[in-house]
Amino acid sequence: MQVRFEIVDATRLRGHERTRPELLHRLTEEIRRDGYVKKPLLVAEGSYVILDGHHRYWALRALGCVRIPVYLVDYASEEIQLTTWPEAAVTDVTKEEVLARAERDPFPAKTTRHIVQFPLEDHAVDLKDLR
């Protein structure tokens, strides 16, 4: 699997899930305190749909970031598996539905769980490089 690291304009990214306010607040404060974000978002190449990292996206936006670090991946790859979290309201989701939800009516927070069969290393990026 080819994974490409990029820092992209935040307005290109589209989410397919909502966020949990308490988790978003906690993460925003952690990133503010650290001064950097540790993990790039996992994003579908071409469509720029966020697969993993909705809370990081909104935390960075709340901190004034206009650019976001991402790993771009081929979402059609069999090396990316899709399931749901145990407590999710929706129990059966397809990749096509994930892409469609970025266009309308996002899933509740923590619905989809993407499992990748390849390493995604932490790649810390300083907040000043994202503003």
What pLDDT was estimated at residue 1?
86
Query: Which CATH code for domain 4-121?
Result: 3.90.1530.10
Give the model confidence (pLDDT) of 8-23 as tens digits: 999 999 999 999 999 9
| Active-site residue set | 17
**Helices (H) then strands (E): counts for the chain:** 3, 8
**pTM of the prediction?**
0.96
Look up tokens 């306010």; give the residue: 21
| 24: CB partners within 8 A, 6+ apart | 55, 58, 59, 62
Give the model confidence (pLDDT) of 66-119 as tens digits: 999 999 999 999 999 999 999 998 999 999 999 999 999 999 999 999 999 999
